[in-house]
Structure 1
Amino acid sequence: MIAFTLALLAADPSVLGPIGRQALPTKGCAAYLWDSAPTRRLVAMATADPARLRLQLDGKTIDVARGGQQGSAGFGFAGVTEYRGGDITAVLDMAIQTRPDLTGGAVVPTGTLRIDRPGRDTLVMPVAGLIGCV
């Protein structure tokens, strides 16, 4: 099922589309996450405060609030975070890595974004990105 869903995302980017350019939050940190396709689309932005995840599903940009978390990855983010809103449950599992050449942030070298919606396929997408803090 996962291989089918990943193929579906590659064939139909409107299911999980790009969210467009996003600004840094006024306070705290945000994780900017790109897909691993050759075009590197910005598909999600997670903010630490308020704890929410921005996505574009079926052509609509939505924000879903944090519902739970496990572990601590740093910069106000958990290793695994569950977000819920309406009939959507999204789980972001990401590794965070600091680097001496980055100030006010970090890199997300690997991650997985899973989206569950009742009566629809579960979407699973590898992601990577950057964290920026104010």
Structure 2
Amino acid sequence: MILLSLALLAADPSSLGPIGRQMLPAKGCAAYLWDVAPKRTLVAMATADPAQLRLQLDGRPIVVVRGGQQGSAGFGFAGVTEYRGGDITAVLDMAVQTRPDLTGGAVVPAATLRIDQPGRDTLVTPVAGIIGCG
């Protein structure tokens, strides 16, 4: 029973695709998030201003805007942020760490990206990344 429950939460890697190269914003900060699979594919980019999340679902680029947030992670990001657009709800739950060898940014050692769409299984993907500020 436990294995079945975990399987229901597992992400379908073919649904969340690579977003390609992304530019650092002219102002504010952006979190660049890679999946933790062996390939380390850039699958999402969250910007602090405007507060939005870019990703690719089923081969199409998607931008969703912040709908709510809880806690503070730093650099203009919350610990848990909910993004919405159309019939998509995405929740990014991330930890942010500063390091003395990084200026103008931080690392995201662990995060979870959850995507909900009506009539489809919930997609839960572990991600990690880096924050850069322009």
TM-score with structure 2 setting the length? 0.94
Partner of 1:115: 115
User: CA distance change for structure 1 residues 107 and 50 in 2, over 3 Å: closer, same or farther?
Assistant: same
Q: CA deviation at 1:111?
A: 0.3
Cα offset for 1:8? Answer: 2.6
Give the unaligned 5+ runs of structure 2. Answer: none
Please state how far the C-alpha of 1:35 moved relative to its aligned partner. 0.2
Shift in CA distance, 122/36, structure 1 to aligned 2, threshold 3 Å: same
Counterpart position of 1:34: 34
Q: CA deviation at 1:22?
A: 0.2
Q: Which residue of 1 aligns with 2:70?
A: 70
**Structure 2 counterpart SS, 1:8:** coil
Percentage identity across paired residues of the two chains: 80
Which residue number in structure 2 is paired with residue 3 of structure 1? 7
Contact 2:11 2:123 (C-alpha < 8 Å) held by counterparts? no
Question: Partners in 1 of 2:75 and 2:6 — Cα distance?
Answer: 30
Q: For structure 1, which runs of at least 5 residues remain unmatched after alignment?
A: none
Amino acid of the structure 1 residue aligned with 2:100:
P
Shift >4 Å, 4+ stretches: none
1:28-67 Cα deviation digits (max 9, x unpaired): 0000000010000000000000000001001001110000
What secondary structure sits across from 1:3 in the alignment?
A: helix
Residue equivalent to 1:127: 127
CA distance in 2, matches of 1:30, 1:118: 28
Amino acid at match of 1:75: F
- Contact kept in structure 1, 2:32 and 2:46, CA below 8 Å: yes
Tell me how far 1:71 sits from its aligned partner: 0.3
Please provide the CA RMSD for this pair.
Answer: 1.1
Tell me, yes or no, if the aligned pair for 1:2 and 1:123 is still in contact at 8 Å.
Answer: no
Mapped to 1, the partners of 2:77 and 2:11 lie a distance apart of 29
Shift of 1:26: 1.1
User: 1:93-123 CA deviation, whole Å, 9 max, x = no partner?
Assistant: 0000000000000000000000000000000
